């Protein structure tokens, strides 16, 4: 017997409804991906706004602060997405407290695992769905972070869209002189 009223009545083993479980999981994957996409555009937009201002000053501290701000923003986005899964697990009464739900969701999202915690039999499919959303979002975040670091790398090399005097015109070009 549950200590609280579930927002979604969890089916018993006898009345297990896999389409309900898959439906909730699929809706949450889409919600997480839409949230992630919105957040990635926001972080990229903020970076694009601040990068030219920081680059003009050639201040190492400002560069590092901009990188740290981008990384912390990306990390915060992942925490919010894990929390979305945790609220869903708590809402369907898969876990009795939000802390355990967050711990399990974080372990599944990062594909690290969650030790001794396991989903109830009726909600087991959500585990790999959480992991799937984590794989997609981490790959997307890695792409954004690589783009951010490439901008700094290119700026340090003088890549302004025109070739450096005496250097190759493109990255793949070889100077044969």
Q: Which fold does the domain 18-157 belong to in CATH?
A: Helix Hairpins (1.10.287)
- Tell me if 84 sits within 8 A of 28, measured CB to CB: yes
Q: What is the full DSSP assignment across 120-176?
A: -GGGTHHHHHHHHHHHHHHHHHHHHHHHHHHHHHHHHHT-SSSPPTTS-SSTT----
Q: Is the pLDDT of residue 166 over 70?
A: no
Domain boundaries, the chain: 18-157
Q: pTM to 2 decimals?
A: 0.79
- pLDDT, tens digit, for every residue of 86-144? 999 999 999 999 999 999 999 999 999 878 899 998 899 999 999 999 999 999 999 99
Alpha-helix runs per DSSP H in 58-121:
60-91, 98-109
Coil/strand/helix, residue 96: coil
- Tell me if 136 sits within 8 A of 33, measured CB to CB: yes
Q: Which of 99, 50, 78, 69 is nearest to 141 (CA)?
A: 78
Q: Is the pLDDT of residue 1 over 60?
A: no
């Amino acid at each position: 017997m549950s200590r609280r009223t579930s927002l979604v009545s969890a089916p018993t083993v006898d009345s297990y409804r896999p389409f309900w479980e898959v439906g909730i999981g699929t809706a949450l994957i889409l919600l997480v991906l839409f949230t992630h996409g919105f957040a990635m555009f926001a972080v990229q937009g903020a970076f694009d706004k601040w990068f030219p201002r920081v680059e003009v000053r050639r201040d190492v501290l400002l560069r590092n602060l901009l990188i740290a701000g981008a990384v912390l923003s990306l990390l915060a986005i992942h925490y919010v997405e894990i929390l979305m899964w945790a609220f869903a697990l708590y809402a369907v009464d898969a876990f009795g407290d939000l802390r355990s739900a967050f711990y399990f969701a974080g372990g599944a999202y990062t594909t690290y695992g969650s030790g001794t915690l396991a989903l109830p039999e009726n909600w087991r499919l959500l585990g790999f769905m959480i992991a799937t959303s984590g794989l997609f979002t981490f790959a997307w975040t890695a792409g954004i972070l690589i783009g951010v670091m490439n901008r700094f790398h290119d700026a340090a090399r003088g890549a302004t869209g025109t070739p450096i005097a005496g250097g190759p015109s493109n990255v793949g070009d070889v100077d044969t002189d």
